[in-house]
Structure 1
Amino acid sequence: MTRYPISLAVACLAAAVLVAGCASAPDRYYTLAAPDGPSSAAPASGAPVFIELAPVAVSERLARPQMVVHQAGGRSAEVALLEQHRWSSSFENELRDALSSGIAARLGAIDVTKGGRQPSTPAWRIAVQVRQFDAVENTRVDAALSWTVRRSDADLGATCQWRTSEPVGHGIDALAQGAQRVASNASDAIARHVAQLQQNPGATCTTP
């Protein structure tokens, strides 16, 4: 049996420990889509409801799959780009999918952005702009959105502005869950606005 010097064995063991310590943690992926089924924002009607949700407009710094996080207690202008904590797609696409499914579920509607309705059938066209989306680690998620809702067979549109601050617990998982709640609450607010316009096309935005 081949015998190695003790010093060589110790060196090999140290090298193995060093390699194991240098192994990177696996990437974590998150979604903004709510896991639970939302309640309806408007009574069901016999006629189908169609919505067209345009691509969500976000600032360039957010238009990426990596989570962009403010450090708690850090300088307000400093952010961290988390390479190992990512949305399942680029943030603006992830948010658009979450809003689309959330609004459609609350209204009992169909998102026909990619087709699926007759040209003569009106749809509610929704355009959303993210004016603020700041995730502060271990603290909160601050968000401000504005949107325009217009029926495809009408010239006038209605606008609304919405702001929220969602407290979160410790860690990136809690931060992602807070962002998910923000997307769900935004879906609620937009769906309520559309429901108001269904009842009264001249209604002003009363979303809190």
Structure 2
Amino acid sequence: MWVRMFATGGGMVLLLAACASTPPSHYYSLAGQDAPALALAASRMEHKAGSGQAYGLQLQVRSIPADVDRIQIVVRDPARAPAVDVLNQSIWSAPLDQQIQRLLAAGVAARLGVVDMQRLPAATSMPVRTIDVRITQFDLIWGQGAYLGAVWTDQGMTGKPARVCQAAVQSKAPIGVANLVDAQKRSLAALVSLMADPADALAAGLPNDTQVNHIGCT
């Protein structure tokens, strides 16, 4: 009996040691409150409502790159390209495509001073501007930073011709998962500004360590 208890106890010790050696998971989000943009949105929305120019924005992210469409954060190592590191203990707090969808829709609507139809779907009586987005690049690269690429089709208002645009943005960051996520937040914020009004975004300037590699519309 004593030997059996010793063996069972040893097994428990090994099990506890294995559990203790498993690193904890860390969760990351792309969300961030942009107070200046929200304040600007409130004033613009009030002005447009008073002038009869209010409309709703329906922005939809149709796709993101397949290799990052997972709950784990994926980081690229330039020394082992094209290999990627899937970080099992670094987890997105919500599906990546949903986070990008919410951020772009809310951000572009805020800068335009219009209604985000995702948040106020009941406002169906107003005109709607539709923007379809494809995220073509979403790279976090060790020792470099975050790279973001997108193509979007702006259907405009009823009766107006559609416009196709594309942009590529990068933000520098030191090594570290949290630093890379923060850098991608800056890239997404820059993309929001470019989608709302490229001329205004470039004239106003971008955050430090963030640059536009390409922007164009046809």
Using the TM superposition, give the Cα deviation of residue 24 of structure 1 relative to its aligned residue in structure 2, in angstroms.
2.0
* In the alignment, structure 1 residue 118 sits paired with structure 2 residue 124: yes
User: Percentage identity across aligned positions?
Assistant: 24
Does the CA-based 8 Å contact 2:167-2:216 persist in structure 1? no
More helix by share: 2
Q: Which moved more, 1:106-115 or 1:91-100?
A: 106-115
* Paired position in structure 1 for 2:32: 34
* Paired position in structure 2 for 1:106: 111
* In the alignment, structure 1 residue 66 sits paired with structure 2 residue 64: no
Using the TM superposition, give the Cα deviation of residue 56 of structure 1 relative to its aligned residue in structure 2, in angstroms.
3.6
- Normalised to the residue count of structure 1, the TM-score between the two structures is 0.76
Using the TM superposition, give the Cα deviation of residue 49 of structure 1 relative to its aligned residue in structure 2, in angstroms.
3.4
The structure 2 residue matched to 1:23, chosen from 21, 28, 33, is 21
Change (3 A) 1:103 1:194: farther
Distance 1:126 1:138 in 2: 34
The structure 2 residue matched to 1:192, chosen from 190, 193, 197, is 197
Residues paired across the two proteins, number: 187
Match runs of 1:78-93 below 5 Å: 78-93=83-98
| 1:71-123 residue CA offsets vs partner (Å, 9 max, x unmatched) | 2x42221001112112221111111111112112222222114722234x211
Distance 1:79 1:117 in 2: 43
Using the TM superposition, give the Cα deviation of residue 46 of structure 1 relative to its aligned residue in structure 2, in angstroms.
2.7
Change (3 A) 1:81 1:69: same
Using the TM superposition, give the Cα deviation of residue 29 of structure 1 relative to its aligned residue in structure 2, in angstroms.
1.4
* In the alignment, structure 1 residue 182 sits paired with structure 2 residue 184: no
Change (3 A) 1:155 1:194: farther
Equivalent residue of 2:180, what SS?
A: helix
Does the CA-based 8 Å contact 1:28-1:85 persist in structure 2? yes
- From the CA coordinates, give the structure whose radius of gyration is larger: 1
| 1:31-83 residue CA offsets vs partner (Å, 9 max, x unmatched) | 11233324348x82333331001134112222222111102x42221001112
Change (3 A) 1:138 1:59: same
Greater RCO (Cα-Cα under 8 Å, separation 6 or more) = 1
Equivalent residue of 1:55, what SS?
A: strand
Change (3 A) 1:38 1:157: farther
Change (3 A) 1:37 1:117: same
Equivalent residue of 1:89, what SS?
A: coil
Distance 2:58 2:114 in 1: 10
Does the CA-based 8 Å contact 1:56-1:95 persist in structure 2? no
Using the TM superposition, give the Cα deviation of residue 170 of structure 1 relative to its aligned residue in structure 2, in angstroms.
2.2
Distance 1:111 1:36 in 2: 15
The structure 2 residue matched to 1:54, chosen from 54, 60, 66, is 60
Q: RMSD of aligned C-alpha atoms?
A: 3.1
